[in-house]
Structure 1
Amino acid sequence: MALHNWKSPSIKDIAQEAGVSPATVDRVLNGREGVRDVTRKKVDSAMARLGLQSEGESRSAGVQRVAIICESGSSFGGQLERQARVMKADRPQLHISMDTLPSVQFNADRFSQLITRRAREASGIILVCRDDVKINRAVKAAIDDGVQVICLTSDLPNSRRTAYVGIDQIASGATAGWFMGRMLPPQQPGNILLICSSTYRTQEEREIGFRRVLRESFPWLTIRDRVNINDEAETAWHSVKKWLEEGKPLAGIYNTAGGNEGVARALEAFGVQDQVIFTGHELSESSRLLLETGTMDMVLGHDMRREIEQCLAIFEQPLSERSSADVKTPLLIYHRYSYFS
């Protein structure tokens, strides 16, 4: 699914019309230092010819062009799209496009090309995707062209991205491991099913934290299987169902990915939802209901709207004031008796 809210001339179009580099246009559009007056006038004139506002008018109106590109499970993508719509309604001056692609439809070549296309149109990109060599290359090219790229929730540290905004994913996995160990009977051996998806760094880091805590503090708990569900409920349902059909004893499930509804469906089908500790990520309408019914024991979440606002704040910073530091947001822990606003 995709939402496109503008088709105006891109930064590269302006740069070509003005006879300057895209990075220079980016500096002019954001009112940064280091651009000669004659160059600013060239950019202003080019924008006027293309039917756009001048640099001064753009700054006074706070106009921004931001592209959100998300490759994830359908549940996460839907939540991000809803928050983007709310953000656009709150900031009418914000020109925003959004592309969401389900993980099951991922193609590295096409996704990299999408990043390149949006980089021609936007001065800032908010990116959620798996770690892939081709994607890293596309992000580097966008950065070289003066487009800021912020990784949201899942990082691409080898891409030279502008910043990472999100929770500490290793800490979130460690938190899941700690609560899992504390909720299960002490010193009693038990099997843990670990559910992952594709090569998202966020899930890999969650797994690192989870395994570390179980190894150090709860060595009687053993991770028996690591299944790949491609971030979707249907795949999760079949994977957990297969595990349970084989009659393997199960003490807990940690889902680092999406598809919590599918895990819950399998547990309920075999009548073991009250016997298995089930922890996952992302508070949604479905996971909230699973907490209330007791099928899920804990959900680890984050404030997605706050994180998008952090991304926009980074985009708005002048180059001379911008810090390269990442923005780590608070980990939110939900259970059956949490207050859901």
Structure 2
Amino acid sequence: MKATVADIARSCGLSTATVDRVLNNRAGASAANRQRVMEAARQLGYLPVVDQVALPSRPAHLEFFLPIGSNAFMIDLAKHIEDYAARLPLVASCRIHSLAGIAPGALQGAIENLSLKANGVGVIAVDHPRTRNILREVVEAGIRLVTLVSDVPAAPRSAYVGIDNRVAGRTAALLMGRFLGGRTGHLAMVVGSRSYRGHEEREMGFRSVLSEEFPNLTVSSAVEINDEPEVSYTATMKALHNEPELLGIYCVGAGRSGVAKALLEARPKKKPVFICHDLTRETRGYLVDDIADVVIDQNARLIAEQSVIRLLGSIASSAPYLTKKFIEPRLIFKENVPVQ
């Protein structure tokens, strides 16, 4: 038999009115009383649970701030968030804000449109002092926060949802070294934006493994393209011209289409090993057509689902932080491309 509001009130020694205010996330209850009520509700099994994460007892209003633009991964992520949230009775509403770029000013302008009903916010943002201050103000307003894909650890977020980006970069270097089988030569790196902590961590991980295990491979070109395909195209064409025997290309973030376009147009005598991130419609084609050799996928669908669940869990929890749990990246080759 499910516990009632009266059972929770008796268990924590508070009035049913106070318990009702806490469970419905209304003002008028102290932080200490909120903690007592939520702890009693958990112990009595009042709160629903998904994947060992306690969920709120009342539907919540969620909002996500994503730099979507023309980025195929971001487009997929936004769609998966909307689809999953629409199927959950505990999500009263889910609103996606498309940011006009990655600069802190773009986030600041979008945050001003945050609904007064919002209980939780998910965000992909650069790790910058202004960004951290914006996110701190959101949390101080009583709204729970999770970061997605690229973390901002100094912000008071309840959870980070995504892969371990440093491990992803290390994995890319290990694959690159194994593919090249002891050959000596140069590599090119196309970096989305070092303003993203995730991209910076991938580059660090990649360089670390090269230094540790493959000193015969040298990164001779590393261009920051700010996720612009045309810039990645120009940078790749230049690298292929300067290094006719370039051994490999690692695309850290977006800009994959520019690299692929350059490889198709330049037609080098021996195609460099091409490693990139995120399984999208276009990268599926690159794998099948032998343009890309492997895609390190961070699984947009799983990140979307976990971001919604972790936001709901943070709203239900009195703890400032949820248990840290990375999403495992998938290695996709042309022989194991999953069904869409």
Distance 1:135 1:184, change over 3 A: same
Q: Following superposition of structure 1 onto structure 2, how do residues 1-341 of structure 1 map, counting pairs within 5 Å? A: 27-30=22-25, 62-71=58-67, 74-91=71-88, 94=91, 95-101=93-99, 103=101, 106-118=102-114, 120-186=116-182, 188-198=183-193, 199-272=195-268, 275-317=271-313, 318-320=316-318, 323-341=321-339
Specify the code of the residue in structure 2 equivalent to 1:80: L
- Does structure 2 conserve the Cα–Cα contact (< 8 Å) formed by 1:264 and 1:290? yes
Distance 1:68 1:130, change over 3 A: same
TM-score normalized with structure 2 length: 0.78
Specify the code of the residue in structure 2 equivalent to 1:236: S
Specify the code of the residue in structure 1 equivalent to 2:124: V
Equivalent-residue separation in structure 2 for 1:286 and 1:313 (angstroms): 29
Q: CA deviation at 1:241?
A: 1.3
Q: CA deviation at 1:85?
A: 2.8
TM-score normalized with structure 1 length: 0.78
Distance 1:286 1:181, change over 3 A: same
Equivalent-residue separation in structure 1 for 2:326 and 2:268 (angstroms): 36
Equivalent-residue separation in structure 1 for 2:276 and 2:120 (angstroms): 31
Aligned match of 2:49:
none
Deviations 1:140-162 (A, max 9, x none): 11111111110011000111211
Q: CA deviation at 1:217?
A: 0.3
- Does structure 2 conserve the Cα–Cα contact (< 8 Å) formed by 1:314 and 1:322? no
Distance 1:339 1:226, change over 3 A: closer
Specify the code of the residue in structure 1 equivalent to 2:72: S
What are the ranges of 5 or more consecutive residues in structure 2 without an aligned counterpart? 1-19, 35-55
Q: CA deviation at 1:314?
A: 2.5
Q: CA deviation at 1:33?
A: 11
Equivalent-residue separation in structure 1 for 2:270 and 2:22 (angstroms): 58
Superposition RMSD on alpha carbons, in Å? 2.8
Distance 1:229 1:35, change over 3 A: same
Distance 1:116 1:148, change over 3 A: farther
Distance 1:305 1:28, change over 3 A: same
- Does structure 1 conserve the Cα–Cα contact (< 8 Å) formed by 2:66 and 2:74? yes
Distance 1:152 1:125, change over 3 A: same
Q: What SS does structure 2 have at the residue aligned with 1:158? A: coil
Equivalent-residue separation in structure 2 for 1:26 and 1:157 (angstroms): 31
Q: CA deviation at 1:222?
A: 0.1
Equivalent-residue separation in structure 2 for 1:138 and 1:101 (angstroms): 14
Equivalent-residue separation in structure 2 for 1:273 and 1:34 (angstroms): 70
Q: CA deviation at 1:133?
A: 1.3
Q: CA deviation at 1:200?
A: 0.4
Equivalent-residue separation in structure 2 for 1:180 and 1:30 (angstroms): 50
Distance 1:291 1:221, change over 3 A: same
What are the ranges of 5 or more consecutive residues in structure 1 without an aligned counterpart? 1-24, 40-58
Identity among equivalent positions (%) equals 27
Specify the code of the residue in structure 1 equivalent to 2:329: L
Distance 1:308 1:81, change over 3 A: closer
Equivalent-residue separation in structure 2 for 1:167 and 1:322 (angstroms): 21
- Does structure 1 conserve the Cα–Cα contact (< 8 Å) formed by 2:245 and 2:270? no
Specify the code of the residue in structure 1 equivalent to 2:248: G
Equivalent-residue separation in structure 1 for 2:265 and 2:287 (angstroms): 17
Specify the code of the residue in structure 1 equivalent to 2:82: R
Q: CA deviation at 1:29?
A: 3.2
Q: CA deviation at 1:173?
A: 0.5
Which structure's relative contact order is higher, taking Cα pairs within 8 Å and 6+ residues apart? 2
Aligned match of 1:5:
none
Distance 1:81 1:308, change over 3 A: closer
Of 313-322 and 204-213, deviating more is: 313-322
